[in-house]
Amino acid sequence: MAYNLKEVVANKPSRFTSGHRMCAGCGAPVVARMVLRALKPEDHAVVCTATGCMEVSTFIYPYTSWTDSFIHTAFECAGATLAGAEAMYKSLKRQNKLEGKDTKFIAFGGDGGTYDIGIQSLSGAMERGHDMVYVCYDNGAYMNTGIQRSSATPKFAETTTSPAGKVIQGKMQSRKDLTEIMEAHHLPYVAQTIAVNNFKDLYEKSEKAIYTEGPCFLNVLAPCPRGWGYNTEDLMLINKLAVETCYWPLYEVIDGKYIVNYKPKNKLPIEEFLKPQKRFKHMFKPENEWMIEEFQKEVDKRWEELLNLEEITNR
C-alpha cells in the first residue's frame, strides 16, 4: 500500500518525548521514537526496558520521556517482566475485569541486556508465545557502564575490556548473530533494521511486529558515538555504511520465509564502514591488514548465507 511516511509520522503523537539525556549522535532514542510511532493512536502500550543507557537517560524519577505505561526492570529480565504483564492483561480480559483501549507490549534492551545477560528471559518469553515485541537496540558493547565488550561486539573492535595493544588486537571473537537465534525460536515475525537512514524500513517493520499476533523480535543497529568513536553528526553515515557494506543487512523473516529488503547494487568494501570509527583504527596499521581481510571474509560469508536462506525459503 502506497503512503507518505512523513505524513503518517507527522500526524501521530510522539510517545517518546524530548528531554531525555541520551548522548548527541546516539541511535537508541531514534529507535524508541520510531518504534512507538508505529502504534495506532487509539492503542495503549506497556513499555518495559532493561537497565541500560536508555533506561537511565529517559526515566529519572520523577521525570520521564515515556507517555505510555513504563516498567524499568533489572538487566536480566526484561523478557520475563513484560511477559508477566502480558499474561496478567490476558487474564483480566478473560475475566471481563479490564475495559478500554487495546494494549500492546513492547520491551527495549541494549545488546548487553539482550544478547548476554537477558537472553535467558528473552528466550523463555519467546518460546512460551507471549503476544509481545522485543526490540534490541544494538550498540555493540556495554556502553552504559564503560564500553566493555559484549557478544554483539564485532571482531577486532577495541573496548575497555578488549583493548588493542601488544597482547591482543581488540576483541578476538566473532559477533553473535542474535537475529538468527531468535528465528530459531520459530517466531511469526523476526526482523533486522537500522536506527536511521531508512526510517521507512524501521517504521514498517515495527508496525508488522506490533500487530503480528504472538512473540516478535526486532534487532536494530543503534550506533554509539562514545563507544564507536565517530563524530556525532555522522550517525546517518555510519548506518548507511553498515547497510551498503552488508555488515548489517536489512531483512525480515515472516513465518520462516526470508525476505532481504535491500541488496546494494554496488556493495562497498568493509573498510568504508570501519574507517570512521576509532574502535577500529588499529586495523589500518600496515601490519594489521590481515584483520580487514578477515573481517571482509566474515561479512561476505554471512551475506551469502542470508541470500541462500532467502532463495531456499521462497522456493
pLDDT average, residue stretch 265-274: 97
Rounded Cα distance, 42 and 100, in Å: 10
Question: What is the average pLDDT across 40-57?
Answer: 94
Which pTM value belongs to this model?
A: 0.96
Q: Give the residue-averaged pLDDT of 255-283.
A: 97
Question: Chain centroid to CA 92: how far?
Answer: 31
Burial class (CB in 10 A: 0-12, 13-18, 19+), 169: buried
- Topology, domain 5-313: Rossmann fold (3.40.50)
In the chain, domain spans: 5-313
- CA–centroid distance for 253 within its chain: 15
| Mean residue pLDDT across the chain | 95
Asked whether the predicted pLDDT for residue 1 surpasses 60, the reply is no
Assigned C-alpha cell, 68:
505510555
What pLDDT score does 162 carry?
97
Residue 183: Cβ within 10 Å count: 19
How many C-beta atoms surround the C-beta of residue 80 within 10 A? Answer: 21
Averaged pLDDT, 285-305: 97
Compute the average pLDDT of residues 102-108: 97
Tell me the three cell numbers of residue 55: 533506561
| pLDDT score recorded for residue 4 | 78
* pLDDT score at 100: 78
Q: Give the integer Cα–Cα distance in Å for 307 and 315.
A: 13
Residue 48 has, within 13 A of its CA and on its CB side, a CA count of: 26
User: What's the average model confidence in pLDDT over 73-86?
Assistant: 97
Q: What is the mean pLDDT of residues 129-146?
A: 97
Please report how many Cα atoms fall inside a 13 Å half-sphere around the Cα of residue 224, on the Cβ side.
Answer: 23
Q: What pLDDT does 101 receive?
A: 79
- For β-strands 44-50 and 69-73, DSSP reports them as parallel
How far, in Å, are 35, 121, 156, 223, 243 from residue 284 at the CA level?
A: 36, 39, 11, 21, 21
